[in-house]
Amino acid sequence: MAKKILVVEDEKKLVAILKGYLEQAGFHVVTASDGEQALAVFRHEKPALVLLDLNLPKLDGLDVCRALRKESNVPIIMVTARVEEADRLIGLELGADDYITKPFSPREVVARVRAVLRRAEGEPARAETFVAGELTLDLAKHSVRLKDREIELTPTEFDLLTVLMQNPGRAFTRLQLLDRVQGEAFEGYERTIDAHIKNLRQKIERDPKNPRYILTVFGVGYKFAEDV
Ligand code: CA
């Protein structure tokens, strides 16, 4: 069955182009042209991924992202014409999985959609469980538990935690982590990892400011604690 993609964009021309390319790539496309409609369509259609423009009438993209994250871990790709780093980071802090800056090529959009969906579905189940302290990550079930509580992670957060937990004690640079979780890494985007790490810490650490699991390696990047 064709995967359903929700395209949220107020520029009609752009919607038509994106819809055309995504449908050609085998996706089923539903659309919304403002933030409020986006939430309504999302609840009704339950898409597999949301392509979300930042600059929208009524609720803007960041508000929509925030609202979606309250009720769902659906993969979200933000689309933005504002190139400031701050905006990109805010999108990721709110739990978006990736972002694309305008102007983009529709081919690039299709490639990113495929990549994010692939990550969200996870690789074929491997029977592997990683345990550290009160934290358990189960690759096959694609689940993370803290003590007995299930922790909801976005696809990017899950991948990031997996890479780190699989290699306790190993320090990764931001660029290496970006490459591991996105399958590609562009210089200048490394700081986006900080936003994901911050979110992860808020979800898994008792005291995110004084982390026990994900440690900062000054001058390098991050590592998972060896002895927890
Ligand atoms: Ca727009």
How do residues 195-208 score in pLDDT, each as one tens digit? Answer: 999 999 999 999 99
Distance 191 CA to ligand 1 centre (A): 25
Mean pLDDT, the chain, integer: 88
**At residue 125, does pLDDT exceed 50?**
no
User: How confident is the model over 78-102, as pLDDT tens digits?
Assistant: 888 766 666 666 777 788 888 888 8
What local confidence, expressed as pLDDT, does residue 137 receive? 94
Distance 218 CA to ligand 1 centre (A): 39
CA of 161 to the centre of ligand 1 (A): 33
Residue 139: predicted pLDDT: 84
174-198 core/surface letters (b: 16 or more CB in 10 A; e: else) = bbbbbebbbeebeeebbebbbbbbe
**pLDDT value of residue 4:** 97
Are the C-beta atoms of 144 and 150 separated by less than 8 Å?
yes
- Name the pLDDT band for 124 (thresholds 50, 70, 90): low
Structure confidence at residue 126 as a pLDDT band (50, 70, 90): low
Q: 11 CA to middle of ligand 1, Å?
A: 6
Distance 56 CA to ligand 1 centre (A): 5
CA dist., res. 216 & res. 37, Å (int): 40
Q: Which residues surround ligand 1, an ion (CB under 5 A)?
A: 10, 53, 55
Instruction: Give this prediction's pTM.
Output: 0.63
User: Per residue in 129-179, pLDDT tens?
Assistant: 889 999 999 987 889 999 989 999 988 899 999 999 988 899 999 988 988
**% of the chain with per-residue pLDDT over 90:** 57
Sign of the alpha-carbon dihedral angle for 195, 225, 179, 138: negative
For each of the domains in the chain, give its residue range(s) and CATH number, in order of start.
Answer: 4-121 (3.40.50.2300), 129-224 (1.10.10.10)
| Ligand 1 centroid from CA 57, angstroms | 8
